[in-house]
């Protein structure tokens, strides 16, 4: 039997908490996108030491669980006198995790740009900044936009890990409701449904963007 009273009480709370889930995902994705782009561009440099450092970062992040990274950040930041909220810690940890993944996606996009165009720009006397901004990145991003949007979908799901350091996002709010209602099945179903609506909507958006890109590239 569905407890409609509980449903009526829980749903608004879960929907509000879903807003926080989205906030974590979008803010983390923004950090990941900016940081990932910077890492990808730095990896274009011929500096072997810099490349080795960046690859070490990417390897550590990709080789350890995000849960551990969030906990590590949660414990480590106060040791350095940095006292930020659990929400900010989660955004930072998930964002830095995303940086590593996104950097490699953007890097592959950069590598897909025809080297001849880069040489043509150099022969025309285009400065490096303009070359990166107007020639390399626009073409690299076109190739990787669907992958980047899929990363955002992953982040929406991963944001539930923020609950472990006390951030009251969708999953945590559900657990709180379960703790007093003792109707785990209904609440977990609601949580699952909300995640599904969020990710499916974004997936449909990704498909539209992907079709537009394919059309653009085809043209």
Partner 1 sequence: MLEIKNLSKKFENKNSGPKIVLDNVSLTVDKGEIALLLGPSGVGKSTLLRILNNLESYDKGSLRLDGHSLEEYKRNNKHATGMIFQQFNLFEHMNVEKNITFALEKSAHKSHKEAHEIATQLLNKFGLASKAKLPINKLSGGQKQRLAIARSIALKPLVLCFDEPTSALDPYLKSFVAQNIQELADEKYIVLVATHDVSLIEKLSCKIFLMDEGKIIETSSSAEFLAHPDQYPLIRNFVKGINENIDTKI
Which residues make up the interface to partner 1 (CB under 8 A)?
A: 114, 116-117, 119-127, 130, 134-135, 138-139, 142, 219
Q: In this structure, what token pair is assigned to residue 159?
A: 């944001």
Residue 62 or 127 with smaller CB distance to partner 1: 127
Longest dimension (CA), the chain: 73
Q: How far is the CB of 136 from partner 1 (least distance, A)?
A: 10
Q: How far is the CB of 118 from partner 1 (least distance, A)?
A: 9
Q: How many CA atoms lie less than 13 Å away from 46 in the CB half-sphere?
A: 0
Residue 19 or 138 with smaller CB distance to partner 1: 138
Q: How far is the CB of 141 from partner 1 (least distance, A)?
A: 10
Q: In this structure, what token pair is assigned to residue 176?
A: 């709180």
Cβ neighbours for 210, distance < 8 A, ≥ 6 positions apart: 145, 146
Q: How far is the CB of 122 from partner 1 (least distance, A)?
A: 6
Residue 11 or 135 with smaller CB distance to partner 1: 135
Residue 18 or 140 with smaller CB distance to partner 1: 140
Q: How far is the CB of 146 from partner 1 (least distance, A)?
A: 17
Residue 66 or 135 with smaller CB distance to partner 1: 135
Q: Select from 69, 21, 8 the least CA-distant residue to 168.
A: 21
3-state SS, residue 81 = coil
Q: How far is CA 134 from CA 93, 107, 113, 126, in A?
A: 31, 16, 12, 10
Q: In this structure, what token pair is assigned to residue 122?
A: 């150099």
Residue 117 or 211 with smaller CB distance to partner 1: 117
Q: Select from 134, 118, 103 the least CA-distant residue to 39.
A: 103
Q: How far is the CB of 131 from partner 1 (least distance, A)?
A: 9
């Amino acid at each position: 039997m569905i407890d409609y009273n509980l449903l009526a009480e829980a749903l608004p709370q879960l929907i509000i908490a879903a807003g926080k889930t989205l906030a974590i995902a979008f803010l983390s994705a923004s950090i990941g996108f900016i940081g990932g782009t910077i890492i990808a561009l730095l990896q274009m440099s011929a500096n072997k030491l810099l490349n080795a450092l960046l690859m070490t970062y990417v390897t550590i992040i990709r080789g350890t669980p995000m849960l551990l990274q969030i906990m590590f950040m949660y414990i480590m930041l106060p040791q350095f006198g940095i006292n930020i909220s659990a929400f900010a810690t989660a955004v930072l940890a998930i964002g830095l995790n995303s940086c590593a993944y996104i950097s490699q996606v953007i890097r592959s996009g950069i590598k897909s740009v025809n080297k001849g165009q880069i040489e043509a720009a150099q022969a025309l006397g285009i400065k490096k900044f303009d070359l990166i901004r107007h020639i390399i990145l626009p073409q690299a991003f076109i190739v990787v936009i669907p992958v980047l949007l899929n990363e955002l979908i992953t982040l929406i799901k991963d944001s539930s890990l923020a609950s472990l350091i006390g951030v009251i996002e969708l999953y945590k709010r559900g657990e709180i409701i379960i703790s007093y209602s003792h109707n785990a099945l209904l609440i977990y179903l609601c949580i699952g449904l909300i995640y599904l609506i969020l990710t499916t909507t974004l997936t449909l958006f990704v498909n539209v963007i992907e079709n537009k890109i394919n059309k653009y590239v085809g043209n």
